[in-house]
Amino acid sequence: MVVTPADIQIKLERILPTVQKPGRYTGGELNQVIKPWDSVDVHIALVFPDIYDIGMSNLGLAILYELINQRSDALAERGYVPWIDMEAEMRRTGIPLFSLESKHPLNTFDILGFSLPYETLYTNVLNALDLAGIPMASKDRNETYPLIIAGGHATFNPEPMYKFVDVFVIGEGEQIIHEIIDTYQAWKSSISSRLELLVNLSSIPGLYVPSLYQVKYKSDQTIDRHEQLNEQANYPIIKRIVPHLPPPPTHFIVPNIETVHNRIPVEIMRGCTRGCRFCHAGMVSRPVRERSVNEIIQAIDESLKNTGFEEIGLLSLSSSDYTHITELVKTVTEKYCGKHLGISLPSLRIDSFSVDIMEFLKDSRYGGFTLAPEAATEHMRNIINKPVSTTQLLETAHQIYSRGWTTIKLYFMIGHPSETLQDVEAIADLCKAVLLQGHHAIGHRAKLNVGISTFIPKAHTPFQWVSCDTVDQILAKQDILKRELRHREIKLSWTDQKVTLLEAWLSRGDRRLADVVFRAWQNGAKFDAWQDQLKFDAWTNAFAFYQIEPSFYSHRERKSDEVFPWDHINTGVRKKYLLQDFQLSLEPQIRSDCRKQCYACGILPMYADLRRENPGDAWSCPEVKSPPKIAGRKTPV
């Protein structure tokens, strides 16, 4: 039975008044784009596999929405998964998952593009496909079903989702999206098989079509090798990057209801040169490329006019490292001070310079000051390559308290490689020392918020060889902190160890986990990223059903020559480099900011042609001096 947008509208009429926050499902916001359905060839639904409130703040999809809708031959609309109450109503009344703009059922689109920034969204993807009436397994979908693509940071290890997603976008989407649309369009008019479409896509640099590869395992369950099943398919699959950041989006959709971030997000730079060894984003988003102050200011101006948002977020992985940070902050302050705007600048280094910078931005709406030392001793910070001296940290804390902030937020991780209970006790001691600085500066008005997350060794990082803490270890460490930091002026929060475990399994999972993901969804798992929704039993039962031992993924130290499930995905950073960096962590020896000295991580040779074409300050990597190679070699663009 075909459900039309009009059918959906009529049914929604009666359902919306009965559910929580119906504004999640209406669309109709300022700046949404609705094109006549038949005026374009390619219809794309951009889907964030969580609720509207969260998905609306996703910058990646906002970028793609604007880029696709600028084309005259394609349209992009939005889809989100409904909250539990709405899902029940939709299933009861037979409403398939639909797009907010035109209310078309998602199965009538040509392409569904899922954003997968983190692993705990996987079951929601399956739920979304089910709600849309689309077969979940890629092999069960013929030409009449939409092409399912997915991108985002989690897809740097796509294997646990290989059965469900037709095409993974590895890396940055700004250019590749156009190549996907063009290829799709050519295929659509050619009336050929779906396999042909997949094969055509599989040779576009940065695209991974999992059904065109097979994995061979060893007797110990580790991987022997990845093999192409089709000669055209990329091997390895090299991360796609844009040589310089395109103009940022400025026509953000303005929600009519509260969402998690109500702000204009402006990416001031992409990538990070710090090389913290636990940091997935820092490794996979290299090289560093910056936007000019002019371009940023222009984007803020236009976005303010277009949206009227009350906050501007200047986003990057390490704001203090943005070359023109002082100039940027001064200009922003001069232009927007006194206009009742909040300006946020996350990810600052722990030093007095950061306090100077933030003082510029102090407006009526500032909250606490956030620092992320991640570990409490200098020794441990050297292991994770986030060196900062304790003296400097305390000095910075003192300055923050004495210059007007009453609350400091400190972020730590427990479970770092070789961490002992003494290292965890040191976290408590350091927190108390920081608060003491507050007492010295402003007495008992000083407050401290402490956020404790648990380290997960992520794929493509120097720590990908190490094992996670066991549940007992995690709980023992959390107990120390709960006991030691029971204090009127300290607010402690931590991550549930179950969420940590699930993320650990999925982020280093192989193809065998696809069945587990499916089974977990069948067992009722969804909204796994929500601590209060996570059905841990659904997962452990799914592992048991397939007789897969989950600790194989989370609690196993890998040999240095092990082939990883994600080894066919190439981020540009060499595996040898990561191993070398891991070995340095054992000494521990640090590697300082690679702007000062190139450590040859592999990015430069991989993208030498791009760098050669974009000389100067656009990249933080050194210039390429060698002449371009003439023929033969496959380049990433």
SS3 letters across 509-573? CCCCHHHHHHHHHHCCCCCCCCCCCCCHHHHHHHHHHCCCCCHHHHCCCCCCCCECCCCCEECCC
Single out the residue of 7, 11, 29, 562 in contact with another protein (rule: CB under 8 A).
Answer: 29
Q: How far is the CB of 75 from another protein (least distance, A)?
A: 18
Q: How far is the CB of 81 from another protein (least distance, A)?
A: 18
| 346-375 exposure pattern, b = at least 16 Cβ within 10 A, e = fewer | ebbbbbeebbebbbbbeeeeeeebbbbbbb
Type of residue numbered 120? T
CA distances from 349 to 177, 278, 429, 517, 585 (A): 34, 16, 21, 38, 21
Q: Where are the alpha helices (DSSP H) in 362-411?
A: 378-383, 390-402
Per CB under 8 A, the segment of 23-31, 158-166, 464-472, 564-572 that binds another protein is 23-31
Residue 367 interacting with another protein (CB under 8 A): no
Q: How far is the CB of 71 from another protein (least distance, A)?
A: 23
**# residues contacting another protein (CB under 8 A):** 29
Residue 268 interacting with another protein (CB under 8 A): no
Distance from C-alpha of 272 to C-alpha of 294, rounded to nearest angstrom: 21
Distance from C-alpha of 202 to C-alpha of 219, rounded to nearest angstrom: 30
Residue 429 interacting with another protein (CB under 8 A): no
Positions in 377-406 near another protein (CB under 8 A) = none
Q: Which helix (H) or strand (E) holds 293?
A: helix 293-307
21 backbone φψ class: left, alpha, beta (φ>0; ψ -120 to 50): left
Single out the residue of 216, 218, 365, 440 in contact with another protein (rule: CB under 8 A).
Answer: 365
Residue 23 interacting with another protein (CB under 8 A): yes
Residue 98 interacting with another protein (CB under 8 A): no
Angle 117-118-120 from CA coordinates, rounded to 5°: 140
Q: Which is nearer to another protein, 28 or 628 (CB)?
A: 28
Per CB under 8 A, the segment of 26-34, 270-278, 412-420, 468-476 that binds another protein is 26-34
Q: How far is the CB of 257 from another protein (least distance, A)?
A: 5
Distance from C-alpha of 28 to C-alpha of 34, rounded to nearest angstrom: 9
List phi, psi (to 5°) of 335: -75, -35
Residue 16 interacting with another protein (CB under 8 A): yes
Hey, CA dihedral for 463, 467, 473, 475, is it positive or negative?
A: positive
Residue 22 interacting with another protein (CB under 8 A): yes
Distance from C-alpha of 199 to C-alpha of 197, rounded to nearest angstrom: 5
Q: How far is the CB of 17 from another protein (least distance, A)?
A: 4
Distance from C-alpha of 546 to C-alpha of 417, rounded to nearest angstrom: 30
Residue 285 interacting with another protein (CB under 8 A): no
Single out the residue of 142, 144, 219, 258 in contact with another protein (rule: CB under 8 A).
Answer: 258
CB 509 within 8 Å of CB 120: no
Single out the residue of 144, 219, 364, 560 in contact with another protein (rule: CB under 8 A).
Answer: 364
Residue 57 interacting with another protein (CB under 8 A): no
Q: Which is nearer to another protein, 65 or 235 (CB)?
A: 65
DSSP assigned state of 98: B
Single out the residue of 340, 379, 444, 629 in contact with another protein (rule: CB under 8 A).
Answer: 340
Q: Which is nearer to another protein, 78 or 519 (CB)?
A: 78
Q: Please name which of 379, 378, 415 lies closest in space to residue 394, comparing C-alpha atoms.
A: 378
Residue 113 interacting with another protein (CB under 8 A): no
Residue 7 interacting with another protein (CB under 8 A): no
Residue 260 interacting with another protein (CB under 8 A): no
Residue 586 interacting with another protein (CB under 8 A): no
Q: Please name which of 550, 551, 554, 543 lies closest in space to residue 519, comparing C-alpha atoms.
A: 543
Residue 5 interacting with another protein (CB under 8 A): no
CA-CA-CA-CA dihedral for 554, 460, 633, 216, to nearest 10: 0
Angle 485-490-495 from CA coordinates, rounded to 5°: 70
Positions in 519-558 near another protein (CB under 8 A) = none
Residue 480 interacting with another protein (CB under 8 A): no
Q: How far is the CB of 444 from another protein (least distance, A)?
A: 19
Residue 192 interacting with another protein (CB under 8 A): no
Single out the residue of 4, 9, 18, 294 in contact with another protein (rule: CB under 8 A).
Answer: 18
Residue 615 interacting with another protein (CB under 8 A): no
Residue 334 interacting with another protein (CB under 8 A): no
**Per the structure block, which two tokens stand in for 272?**
């990070």
The binding track of 204-223 with respect to another protein, each residue x by CB under 8 A or -, is --------------------
For residue 24, give every residue at least 6 positions away whose Cβ sits within 8 Å of its Cβ, in sequence order, or none.
51, 52, 53, 80, 82, 83, 86, 257
> Residue for token digits 């990082």?
461
Single out the residue of 33, 84, 254, 297 in contact with another protein (rule: CB under 8 A).
Answer: 254
Q: How far is the CB of 296 from another protein (least distance, A)?
A: 19
Q: How far is the CB of 116 from another protein (least distance, A)?
A: 28
Q: How far is the CB of 352 from another protein (least distance, A)?
A: 26
DSSP assigned state of 629: P
For residue 87, give every residue at least 6 positions away whose Cβ sits within 8 Å of its Cβ, in sequence order, or none.
81, 127, 131
Single out the residue of 88, 137, 195, 257 in contact with another protein (rule: CB under 8 A).
Answer: 257
Q: Please name which of 323, 367, 314, 318 lies closest in space to residue 343, comparing C-alpha atoms.
A: 314
> Residue for token digits 């692993």?
119
Single out the residue of 5, 7, 11, 26 in contact with another protein (rule: CB under 8 A).
Answer: 26
Q: Is 474 exposed, middle or buried (0-12, 13-18, 19+ CB in 10 A)?
A: buried
Q: Which is nearer to another protein, 15 or 380 (CB)?
A: 15
Q: How far is the CB of 333 from another protein (least distance, A)?
A: 17
Residue 256 interacting with another protein (CB under 8 A): yes
Q: How far is the CB of 335 from another protein (least distance, A)?
A: 14
Q: Which is nearer to another protein, 326 or 406 (CB)?
A: 406
Q: How far is the CB of 29 from another protein (least distance, A)?
A: 7
Positions in 287-316 near another protein (CB under 8 A) = 304-310
For residue 508, give every residue at least 6 positions away whose Cβ sits within 8 Å of its Cβ, in sequence order, or none.
157, 457, 458, 459, 464, 553, 554, 564, 565
Q: How many CB atoms lie within 10 A of CB 39?
A: 9
Q: How far is the CB of 610 from another protein (least distance, A)?
A: 38
Q: How far is the CB of 612 from another protein (least distance, A)?
A: 43
Residue 9 interacting with another protein (CB under 8 A): no
Residue 83 interacting with another protein (CB under 8 A): no
Binding residues (CB under 8 A) for another protein: these are: 13-18, 21-23, 26-30, 254, 256-258, 262, 304-310, 340, 364-365
